[in-house]
């Protein structure tokens, strides 16, 4: 137990191994199994936690492997994960995804392969630039006859010019020698661009587990003590910025090409989060995915601009009328006039006049979005749904200009989910958008009727994304005339109405043609992918060229 104080005193020295400017909270020492379990440190003698940028150290495990004399080697290694490889949650997520592509049917081992790969870079840096005794740490851990372990140790022997069997058990075969040589070159060639070698490294590792007679995971059970990044993302929210990832390969170009850009889907994103120890609700994971996917496409949503808007100027005070809103009372001026305030007698309100101004008054148009979620639509939680993505692009664009948004996800009769009115909470909006019903098709006329009984305070644009099933707006059995309800909504909204529809026969549906004749702007598309271009053209065509209204 005496070594703990010495290690604490050498924390700053460990930080300086990487830079004089690195600042991290001192390592947290765990003195019992219960503490280790609480903090999520299982199996290994050290680990990192990206949530609070902490290094966790097991006192009992360090004593078990007799590592008390290696404070700089161990703490320097853990600090390296925070400041060098991976450095942050986004880079960790990218490495996990790239590795998973090279490990078909072995995805459950991905985070461990990534951990080993990162350790190679960190250990080589500490050995070459700081002359630390990294090989002695592995000698303390002990040798292992496992083929993967010997391949891993042989890589270190080649990197550091160590004699054979310094870290390996017995003479290694030609395959291990060849694989270790390739990885050695990889580590030296990409010291600051680890993503370039991740696919190739995972591909080299694949046969050691796929062909294992002892089982795919038994190899790693013997070396669990070195895994320190398995739950690095525990307690964190899903990372951003990984909807599109570049995958490179020098050794296996026929598999993916030298460089391939992959777009991940929601299921991939969920798997990445799970592999990093992120325990988030599916709705939160899908919300982050579609928000990131929409960001590159955000466009200005329509707004009314009035140049030369009148500017109010204070001209004085006048007696406040008891019938006027109480917030108009100027309490300071009223108190100055009379210490005893008598509403309607001694209370005054400010009097304003108007003058010409060069300011432009902006009046955002609110968005009323209806997205079809019947059985013919993709589930946005398992695959990329362009309906959801288009809804996210347009909704987030509307929020940028100050608009309020109501989103309704609809399927069968009385089967819909909607936001709590017109809101500006992007998480509430995307939570509705990323839901799924997969039932029948019946447009929610009751929402359209209820929402437009009175003329809204702000202009609204009604946007519907659907397919041929939109004809249920007119053909369903409803207590009141559906056509009159739709017409009334368009008139009261005053911001127009659009329908973007994937139609099997754009000209052959008489009901949909009638909708176009009754005031709805129809935008037929051939595939759901066309919704991305529609999202951009929608604003340009209808509003941007005609923004200034006098």
Nearest to 70 by CA among 139, 24, 16: 139
Question: Do 141 and 127 fall into the same domain?
Answer: yes
Question: Do 66 and 94 fall into the same domain?
Answer: no
Give the total number of structural domains in the chain: 4
The answer to whether residues 113 and 260 touch, using CB atoms and an 8 Å cutoff, is: no
The CA distances from residue 407 to 174, 298, 350, 499, 546, in Å, are 62, 17, 40, 15, 26
Distance between CA 145 and CA 355 in Å, rounded?
A: 88
Q: Which two tokens stand for residue 5?
A: 């104080």
Going by their DSSP bridges, the two strands 54-58 and 46-49 should be labelled as antiparallel
Tens-place pLDDT, residues 248-261: 888 887 666 677 88
The pLDDT assigned to 39 comes to: 87
Question: Do 524 and 395 fall into the same domain?
Answer: yes
Q: Classify residue 399: in a domain, yes or no.
A: yes
Enumerate long-range contacts of 545-550, CB under 8 Å, 24 or more apart.
Answer: 547/302, 547/303, 547/304, 547/305, 548/305, 548/306, 548/307, 549/304, 549/305, 549/306, 550/306, 550/307
Centroid of chain to Cα 170: 47
Q: List b or e across 215-234, with b for residues whose CB sees 16 or more CB atoms inside 10 angstroms.
A: ebeebbeebebbbbbbbbbb
Q: Classify residue 251: in a domain, yes or no.
A: no
Q: Which two tokens stand for residue 477?
A: 């059995």
User: Which residue positions in the chain have pLDDT lower than 50?
Assistant: 214-215, 543-550
Q: What is the DSSP string of 298-318?
A: --PPPEEEEET--EEEEEEEE
Q: Which two tokens stand for residue 308?
A: 């030369």
Q: Classify residue 538: in a domain, yes or no.
A: yes
**C-beta neighbour count of 456 within 10 angstroms:** 16
Centroid of chain to Cα 178: 39
The pLDDT assigned to 215 comes to: 45
State which residues form the domain around 4: 1-79
The pLDDT assigned to 213 comes to: 52
Q: Classify residue 67: in a domain, yes or no.
A: yes
Question: Do 229 and 122 fall into the same domain?
Answer: yes
Question: Do 29 and 169 fall into the same domain?
Answer: no
Question: Do 338 and 374 fall into the same domain?
Answer: no
The CA distances from residue 415 to 436, 445, 470, in Å, are 11, 12, 15
For residue 395, what is the domain's CATH number? 3.40.50.410
The pLDDT assigned to 549 comes to: 37
Q: Of the residues 356, 386, 419, which one is the last residue of a structural domain?
A: 356
The answer to whether residues 473 and 443 touch, using CB atoms and an 8 Å cutoff, is: yes
Q: Classify residue 303: in a domain, yes or no.
A: no
Question: Do 451 and 429 fall into the same domain?
Answer: yes
The pLDDT assigned to 436 comes to: 93
Residues facing residue 366 across a β-bridge = 460
pTM (predicted TM-score): 0.81
The CA distances from residue 452 to 368, 429, 489, in Å, are 11, 20, 5
**C-beta neighbour count of 62 within 10 angstroms:** 21
Q: In a 3-state reduction of DSSP, which class is residue 546? A: helix
Question: Do 70 and 95 fall into the same domain?
Answer: no
Q: Classify residue 300: in a domain, yes or no.
A: no
Question: Do 404 and 337 fall into the same domain?
Answer: no
Nearest to 433 by CA among 392, 394, 397, 404: 392
The CA distances from residue 69 to 3, 10, 65, 133, 420, in Å, are 8, 12, 11, 10, 61
DSSP type of residue 46: E
Residues facing residue 306 across a β-bridge = 361
Rounded to 5°, angle at Cα 499 from 494 and 503: 165
DSSP type of residue 291: H
Q: Classify residue 242: in a domain, yes or no.
A: no
The answer to whether residues 439 and 411 touch, using CB atoms and an 8 Å cutoff, is: yes
Q: Of the residues 302, 330, 356, which one is the last residue of a structural domain?
A: 356
Q: Of the residues 196, 217, 236, which one is the last residue of a structural domain?
A: 236
Tens-place pLDDT, residues 506-517: 677 889 999 999
Question: Do 533 and 386 fall into the same domain?
Answer: yes
The answer to whether residues 407 and 421 touch, using CB atoms and an 8 Å cutoff, is: no
Going by their DSSP bridges, the two strands 460-467 and 494-502 should be labelled as parallel
Centroid of chain to Cα 193: 23
The answer to whether residues 459 and 312 touch, using CB atoms and an 8 Å cutoff, is: no
Question: Do 383 and 403 fall into the same domain?
Answer: yes
The pLDDT assigned to 160 comes to: 96
Question: Do 381 and 519 fall into the same domain?
Answer: yes
Q: Classify residue 186: in a domain, yes or no.
A: yes
The pLDDT assigned to 545 comes to: 40
E-assigned strand segments in 169-266 = 244-248, 259-263
């Amino acid at each position: 137990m005496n070594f703990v104080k010495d290690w604490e005193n050498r924390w700053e020295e460990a930080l300086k191994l990487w830079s004089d400017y690195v600042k991290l909270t001192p390592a947290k020492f765990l003195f019992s199994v219960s503490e280790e379990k609480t903090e999520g440190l299982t199996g290994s003698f050290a680990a990192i936690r990206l949530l609070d940028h902490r290094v966790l150290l097991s006192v009992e495990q360090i004593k078990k492997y007799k590592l008390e004399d290696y404070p700089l080697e161990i703490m320097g290694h853990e600090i390296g994960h925070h400041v060098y490889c991976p450095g942050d949650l986004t880079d960790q997520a990218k490495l996990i995804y790239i590795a998973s592509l090279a490990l078909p049917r072995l995805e459950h081992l991905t985070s461990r392969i990534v951990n080993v790969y990162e350790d190679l870079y960190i250990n080589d840096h500490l050995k070459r630039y700081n002359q630390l005794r990294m090989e002695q740490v592995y000698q303390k851990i002990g040798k292992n006859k496992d083929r993967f372990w010997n391949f891993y140790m042989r890589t270190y022997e080649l990197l550091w010019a160590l004699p054979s069997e310094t870290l390996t058990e017995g003479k290694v075969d030609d395959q291990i020698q060849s694989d270790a040589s390739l990885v050695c070159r990889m580590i030296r060639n990409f010291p600051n661009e680890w993503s370039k070698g991740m696919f190739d490294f995972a591909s080299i590792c694949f046969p050691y587990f796929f062909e294992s007679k002892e089982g795919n995971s038994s190899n790693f059970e013997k070396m669990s003590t070195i895994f320190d990044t398995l739950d690095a993302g525990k307690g964190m929210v899903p990372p951003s910025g990984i909807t599109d990832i570049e995958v490179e390969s020098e050794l296996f170009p026929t598999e993916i090409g030298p460089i391939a850009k992959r777009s991940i889907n929601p299921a991939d994103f969920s798997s990445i989060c799970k592999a990093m120890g992120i325990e988030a609700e599916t709705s939160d994971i899908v919300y982050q995915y579609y928000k990131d996917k929409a960001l590159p496409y955000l466009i200005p949503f329509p707004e009314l601009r009035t140049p030369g808007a009148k500017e109010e100027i204070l001209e004085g005070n006048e007696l406040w009328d008891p019938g006027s809103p109480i917030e108009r009372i100027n309490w300071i001026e009223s108190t100055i006039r009379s210490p005893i305030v008598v509403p309607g007698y001694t209370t005054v309100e400010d009097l304003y006049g108007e003058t010409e101004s060069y300011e432009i008054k902006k009046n955002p148009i609110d968005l009323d979005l209806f997205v079809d979620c019947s059985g013919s639509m993709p589930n946005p939680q398992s695959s990329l749904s362009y309906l959801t993505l288009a809804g996210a692009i347009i909704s987030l664009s509307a929020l940028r200009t100050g608009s309020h948004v109501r989103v309704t996800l609809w399927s069968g009769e009385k089967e819909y989910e909607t936001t709590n009115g017109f809101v500006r909470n992007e998480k509430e909006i995307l939570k509705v958008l990323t839901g799924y019903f997969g039932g029948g098709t019946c447009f929610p006329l009751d929402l359209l009727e209820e929402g437009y009984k009175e003329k809204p305070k702000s202009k609204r644009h009604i946007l519907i994304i659907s397919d041929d099933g939109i004809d249920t707006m007119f053909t369903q059995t409803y207590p009141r005339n559906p056509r009159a309800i739709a017409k009334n909504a368009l008139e009261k909204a005053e911001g127009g109405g659009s329908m973007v529809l994937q139609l099997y026969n754009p000209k052959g549906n008489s009901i949909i043609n009638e909708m176009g004749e009754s005031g709805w702007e129809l935008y037929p598309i051939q595939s759901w992918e066309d919704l991305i271009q529609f999202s951009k053209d929608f604003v340009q065509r209808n509003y941007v060229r005609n923004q200034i209204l006098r």
